[in-house]
Amino acid sequence: MKAIVITHAHIDHIGGAQKLKAATGAPVYMNARDQELYDHLDVQASWLGMKTPEQTEIDVDAREGERIALGAAEFQILETPGHTQGSISVLIPAENKLIAGDTLFLDSIGRTDLPGGDSRQILRSIRDKLLPLDDEIVVIPGHGPKTTIGRERERNPFLRGL
Ligand SMILES: [Zn+2]
C-alpha cells in the first residue's frame, strides 16, 4: 500500500500532491482544517510569484489517532496545529521517527505569522504531543537538518519553560 500524507497545506508542502497522486494512484491524507488553505492555493502562489499548481482531491481526513499501515511500519497521525490549523505530525514508532512538517525544527519552531498561524497553539501542540515522545525519536522537519526529541527538549530556545 502507498499513501501521500500532507503535513499541512502550504504550497511548498502540497504543491506536488496532484502530480504525485496521478503518478502513483495513492490516496491523499490531509487534515480537513487545512482544506480552506488548500482551496486558496492561488493566493499562496501569488505571494511567491509562481503558477498555481493543480489541485487534487483529499481522500482521507488525517485526524488524531489515524493509523496508516505502510509495509511493516505503521504511521500514526498526531494533530499539531499552530503553524496552520490543520498541521499534523507523523510518528513512525517502528523506525523511531517523527515527520514534523513545519511544527518543530532544529533549534526552532514553525512560523505563526501567516494566515491560520497561532503562536500559543504551536507551543501547546509541541508541549502536549511532541515533547512527551521518547528522547531518541529522530525528528525529520519540513526544512533543515534532522534532530531528536531529546535534543530539542533540552536545547531548543523556543521551548524553554514549557
Ligand atoms: Zn509551512
Distance 16 CA to ligand 1 centre (A): 14
8 Å CB contact between 138 and 148: yes
CA distance 1 to 155: 38
Q: How far is the CA of 143 from the centre of ligand 1 (A)?
A: 9
d(CA 84, CA 80): 9
- pLDDT per residue rounded down to tens, the chain (162 residues): 799 999 999 999 999 999 999 999 999 999 999 999 999 999 999 999 999 999 999 999 999 999 999 888 999 999 999 999 999 999 999 999 999 999 999 999 999 999 899 999 999 999 999 999 999 999 999 999 999 999 999 999 999 988
Please give the distance, rounded to the nearest whole angstrom, from the Cα atom of residue 31 to the centre of ligand 1.
14
How far is ligand 1, taken at its centre, from the CA of residue 29, in Å?
Answer: 16
For ligand 1, the distance from its centroid to the CA atom of residue 114, given in whole angstroms, is 9
Domains of the chain, CATH where assigned? 4-159 (3.60.15.10)
Report pTM. Answer: 0.95
Q: How many angstroms separate the first and last alpha carbons of the chain? A: 38
